Structure 1
Amino acid sequence: MSIITGIRKALETDVVAIASIHACSWREVYHFLPDRVQASRDEAYRIGQWQRWFAEQPDGEALFALVDGDAVVGFAMAKPNRDLAIAVPGEFHACYILPEYRGGASGPMAMSALAEHLWTAGLWPACVWAFRNNPYRRIYPALGCVAEVFRDRDIAGLQIPEIGYRVADFATLLGRLSKMRQRAQQKGRQYRSRAKEPGSCSNIKPE
């Protein structure tokens, strides 16, 4: 697992990297989606989507880039909630990270940035949506999110099951994210310490 070195506000020059990560993550994480859906959300589509976002930059929306040095390796977005199915003002809209950077502190770092933006912007409480077959949605109940809506989402004319979660308790969420980051950092220190021991293979990456 590679290590994310920081998170910052995304720049317009990040569009190609963000679009590539977006399309790649959909193919890899949402492998259960039909080819027709994947084809409708390819890299060219995502480039257009994020170019439009930077041209408009709607009020209340925030886009963050997760970086390893100068390289963008993930992104996360929060926005006002415009879906009446869950009556809250804010939404955790997206969080996609390259496979080799997932795990550890990357997800908690991104979620914390989104939560702090929503709180500061007066967009709290919030919601988050996940496809029912998304294997990563298991993290939401662990963070105190409560499943509230079960429905199908129309994408390219197909109905894809999804779940909507209410994220109500800001302090609980931030506290659990902080503990996750601390555990990840501790594991990282232990790994680096072991890698420096005599006879260890310092170039071996953890699985």
Structure 2
Amino acid sequence: MNIRRASADDYSGIARVHVDNWLNTYKEIFPAEVLNTWTYETREVRWKKSLPKALSGGTMTFVAEEKGTILAFALAGTMRDARLRMRYTGEIYGVFVHPEHQGRGLGRKLFEACAEHLLSFDHARAALWTLENNPDRDFFETVGGKKVYDAPAEIGGHSYTKVAYGWDDLEKFQKHQLKLN
């Protein structure tokens, strides 16, 4: 397994992981009309357009691959949310592992890559948003995140709650991870 910076040509593999992860994670949470909008074709179009921006400046996308197949990806950059920006200048935009490859440590390795990237841009603290009813959100607690905020979210005309997890010391997190490896 290899962790590397994504390239613009990775859009198709990223789209497949994104769709499969999202449909698996939220199959019991979102209604069919929301889930049906998540197709490989629509995500490929979106990723082909947006991936070049997610590979420049302070934003970076990382992939975990094996034998040329993308198994997981994660993105990180500058905090987008004004409510969190005063405390957390960095943001991990998401960590997505294909359902068939969960439990192998790919998410943790990608999270570490994101933390290292954020530190290289002098982001000492970071946060991440996820849905409160995401069955995999305990992963963020496992890697040291603390629940710091919640807010309403509307998806497909339905109301949900999103939760922000924060890391107050990415350098400490990174040093702890190095000891574990």
The TM-score with structure 2 as length reference comes to 0.87
Q: Counterparts of 2:113 and 2:12 in 1: how far apart (Å)?
A: 22
SS in 1 for 2:116: helix
Structure 1 match to 2:75: 77
Question: What is the CA distance between 1:176 and its match in structure 2?
Answer: 4.4
SS in 1 for 2:75: strand
Unaligned runs of 5+ in 1: 183-207
**Equivalent position to 1:10, from 6, 11, 23:** 6
8 A contact 1:143–1:176 mirrored in 2: no
Q: State the aligned residue count.
A: 177
**Equivalent position to 1:49, from 40, 46, 51:** 46
8 A contact 2:119–2:171 mirrored in 1: no
Over the matched positions of the two proteins, sequence identity in percent amounts to 24
* Cα displacement string for residues 84-112 of structure 1 (whole angstroms, at most 9, x for unaligned residues): 12122111111111223222331221110
Structure 1 match to 2:93: 93
Structure 2 match to 1:35: 32
Map 1:140-151; keep pairs closer than 5 Å: 140-151=140-151
Q: Counterparts of 1:104 and 1:54 in 2: how far apart (Å)?
A: 25
Q: Counterparts of 1:23 and 1:68 in 2: how far apart (Å)?
A: 19
8 A contact 2:3–2:64 mirrored in 1: yes
Unaligned runs of 5+ in 2: none
Question: What is the CA distance between 1:55 and its match in structure 2?
Answer: 4.3
Residue identity opposite 1:16 in structure 2: S
Distance 1:154 1:124, change over 3 A: farther
Residue identity opposite 1:27 in structure 2: L
Distance 1:143 1:123, change over 3 A: same
Residue identity opposite 1:121 in structure 2: F
- Cα RMSD, aligned residues only: 1.9
Q: Counterparts of 1:135 and 1:68 in 2: how far apart (Å)?
A: 26
Structure 2 match to 1:205: none
SS in 2 for 1:133: coil
Map 1:119-198; keep pairs closer than 5 Å: 119-178=119-178, 182=181
Question: What is the CA distance between 1:179 and its match in structure 2?
Answer: 5.6
Q: Counterparts of 1:118 and 1:148 in 2: how far apart (Å)?
A: 19
Structure 2 match to 1:21: 17
Q: Counterparts of 1:54 and 1:111 in 2: how far apart (Å)?
A: 18
8 A contact 2:124–2:169 mirrored in 1: no
Structure 1 match to 2:108: 108
Q: Counterparts of 2:179 and 2:156 in 1: how far apart (Å)?
A: 39
Distance 1:49 1:101, change over 3 A: same
Q: Counterparts of 1:148 and 1:61 in 2: how far apart (Å)?
A: 23
Larger Rg over CA atoms: 1
Residue identity opposite 2:48 in structure 1: Q
* Cα displacement string for residues 29-52 of structure 1 (whole angstroms, at most 9, x for unaligned residues): 122122222223332231122112
